[in-house]
Amino acid sequence: MTREPTSLASGGASLHLLHVDVYRRGLHLIDDLTFDLAPGDILGVSGPSGCGKTTLLRIIAGTSSDYTGTVLRPDADLACVFQEPRLLPWRNALDNVLLPLPPGPQSIAQAMGWLERVGLGDAYDLYPAQMSGGMRQRVAIARALATKPQLLLVDEPFSALDAALSERLRKDLATLIAQTELTCVWVSHDRTELTEVATRQLLLSGPPGGWQLTENEDQHVHQEITTPRATRRTHSVRTRALRLLRKRGDLREGNYYRSGKLG
């Protein structure tokens, strides 16, 4: 088999894999994998270590060529949420969410909006060292979703957190995915976690490439986002953030981006 073009038409949010065989270090990890995902679908991928979970994510992202067959992804931005938040320690929550966004006040409003949606609207000025592990992961989620991706790749983002916090955050992320109708591939070693969030599950068994794809009839959409702490809303946190930036001189004539704080 040969690889074929990897983009869908603009506006298409589905993901298609057709007769994909995955190879890594001489091993045949996945044999003849075919599936389609529609907007709002969450494909949960699990299996033992070395079975090809992360390699499959990289193939879908377009960063690995260890396969044959066809991978068709949206002709638009994709975003990733990793096990580590990967925040820049010298930038506060707002600045970290702004990193992938274009310059302009609209991006600041957009970033603040996403911080509010993940329950951190009043923590925009905190630096990573001032946040808990769960808060840092929420910032990473806000940064990923602020780019308005059509495809989201999730790689065990809550495995380093305690069980209660992990459960709360994965429910929140599943809710955001449903609300924004993203197509999502979610990798986890915990099949119980995937049962809670995924609409379909792909179980990989590794060499010689076995796999099983099943529908998850128990999956349900969580309607409310849990917040990590009480919010202080004496006035709009977005307005408060813009006032702070103006006070720092960061918004004068676009100085927020020319000052080097984001670059």
Residue 183 φ then ψ, to 5°: -90, 130
How many angstroms separate the CA atoms of 172 and 222, rounded?
7
Nearest to 209 by CA among 9, 39, 42, 20: 20
> pTM for the full model?
0.79
How many angstroms separate the CA atoms of 35 and 263, rounded?
40
Please give the helix or strand (H or E) that residue 239 lies within, else none. helix 237-248
Domains of the chain with CATH codes: 37-65+76-204+212-258 (3.40.50.300)
Output the CA–CA distances (angstroms, integers) from residue 235 to 8, 60, 95, 118, 159, in the order listed.
43, 43, 21, 18, 36
Taking the chain, what is the end-to-end CA distance rounded to the nearest angstrom? 43
pLDDT in tens, the chain (263 residues): 445 445 554 444 489 999 999 998 889 999 999 999 998 899 999 999 889 999 999 999 999 999 999 999 887 779 999 888 999 999 999 999 999 999 888 899 999 999 998 888 889 999 999 999 999 999 999 999 999 898 999 998 887 778 887 888 888 888 888 888 889 999 998 888 888 889 999 999 989 999 999 987 665 544 455 555 434 443 455 666 666 666 555 544 344 443 444 33
